[in-house]
Amino acid sequence: MRDKMHHISKLEKLPPKREKVETIKILRQLSKSSKALGELKGIAQTMPNQAMLINAVVLQEAKDSSEIENIITTQDELYRALATKTSQPSHIKEVINYRKAIFSGHELLKKQGFLRLKDIEFLQKEIIENNAGIRSMAGTVLKNDKTGEIVYTPPQEKDEILDLLGNFLEHFNIVQDDFPPLINLAILHYQFESIHPFYDGNGRTGRILNILYLIINDLLDIPILYLSSYINEHKSEYYRLLNTVNKSNKWEEYILYILKAIEVTSSRTIAKINAIKKLLLETIQIAQEKEPKIYRKELIELLFEQPYSKIEFVVEKLNVERKAASRYLKKMENIGIIKSQKIGRESIYVNEKLIEILKKH
């Protein structure tokens, strides 16, 4: 049954009228957001080992993004889950799946440079772990969490959904040269969420598409900018603004919101990278001074790639025997770089100072 107050209007194809999405206010915010993002790209390139950065930031995003679905997971739980082989509770699995989907999306881009419809379906499937695919049954509506009121009705017919997705992908895969890509990111995000192609996981899939879009447009080399923490903190505003565009086709405030999110999260990520770099240098120095005989740059890097490490990781990375690996880790623990924890029968070595940095915004 249709809500009487709820007016169903057809979702328009891209692009929206330029004067609606390129206002003076938007252009002013755009320059701040672009500057912050440019800085982030540059600083990320100075990181000696990119895996260190990607692992840390991607896990944080997976955690934040899954939290939008009200699953609260702690950083420690997650790292422990990654380091151990035991089966995981479902809320941990969701985060791990999301992380996997980010990596898959990044791999796809590295391989082919663009996304196809089946790639997006694949990513959603990895997140949700079911085979439902694109909506083919009518009935999906978006409701206000608190009041239960229907706020938006996405397209219901599969043909229309596919048609809109085709239009979406055309705009997603074009590298922008005469239109600011960050404004386009905001527009694309709105459009994807409004098409709402899946029964579930549209938010998470859409947030992964955001980061992939930055990479397609060469605004970042690696997937390290995520808006989820910002969206979590300003969630009702986020829903309200998506709604405003649905109802009145007024884009300005919504686009400003996304641009602001890009600026704020870029600055946070820059601060985080700087803190990681500083800790890395300090750690190298301590190890060189106190354990010059066993010091190896790869060992320290491993402790940053895997803040929860274990003997096996060292064996693999340094190509040494188990006994030697175990000795290295013990020495690192003795000089205060890591701390061991028993999980079941396994010993896990935690880079606690790094975890502290990662826990912050």
Ligand X SMILES: Nc1ncnc2c1ncn2[C@@H]1O[C@H](COP(=O)(O)OP(=O)(O)OP(=O)(O)O)[C@@H](O)[C@H]1O
Using CB under 6 A, list all residues that contact ligand X: 68-69, 142, 151-152, 193-194, 200-204, 206, 239, 242-243, 246
Which is closer to ligand X, CB of 251 or CB of 308?
A: 251
Strand partners, 142: 152
Q: Which of the choices ligand X, Mg ion, none does residue 115 contact, using the CB cut-off of 5 to 8 A by kind?
A: none
Instruction: Give me the phi and psi of 36, to 5 degrees please.
Output: -60, -40
Q: Does 67 bind Mg ion (CB under 5 A)?
A: no
Q: Looking up tokens 């969630």, which residue turns up?
A: 235
CB of 50 to ligand X, least distance (A): 27
Rounded least distance, CB 126 to ligand X, Å: 12
Give the nearer residue to ligand X in terms of CB position, either 180 or 206. 206
Query: Minimum distance from CB of 215 to Mg ion (Å)?
Result: 25
Torsion, CA 62, CA 221, CA 109, CA 194, rounded to 10: 50
In the DSSP assignment, the letter for residue 69 is T
Smallest distance, ligand X to C-beta of residue 47, A: 29
Element (H, E) at 343: strand 339-343
Give 189-201 as a 3 state SS string: HHHHHHHCCECCC
Please identify, using beta-carbon distances, which residue of 68 and 318 lies nearer to ligand X.
68
CA distance 298 to 32: 37
Nearer to ligand X, 128 or 354 (CB): 128
Residues that bind Mg ion (rule: CB under 5 A) add up to a total of 1
For ligand X, which residue has the nearest CB? Answer: 203
| 200 lines the binding site for Mg ion (CB under 5 A) | yes
40 binding partner (options Mg ion, ligand X, none; Cβ < 5 to 8 Å by kind) = none
CB of 309 to Mg ion, least distance (A): 34
User: Could you say which DSSP state residue 134 is in?
Assistant: B
Pick one of Mg ion, ligand X, none as the site partner of residue 246 (Cβ within 5 to 8 A by kind): ligand X
Residue 152 site contact among ligand X, Mg ion, none (CB < 5 to 8 Å, cut-off depends on kind): ligand X
Tally Cβ neighbours within 10 Å of residue 22: 17
Q: Of ligand X, Mg ion, none, which one sits near residue 243, judging by CB under 5 to 8 A according to partner kind?
A: ligand X
Give CA–CA dist 316/327, Å, rounded: 15
> HSE-up of 169 (CA within 13 Å, CB side)?
16
DSSP string, 11-55: PPPSPPPHHHH--HHHHHHHHHHHHHHHHHHHHHHT-S-HHHHHH
Least separation in angstroms between residue 195's CB and ligand X is 9
The CB-of-243 to ligand X minimum distance in angstroms stands at 4
Which of 236/285 has CB closer to ligand X?
A: 236
Strand 339-343 and strand 142-143: the pairing is unpaired
| Residues of this chain that bind Mg ion (CB under 5 A) | 200
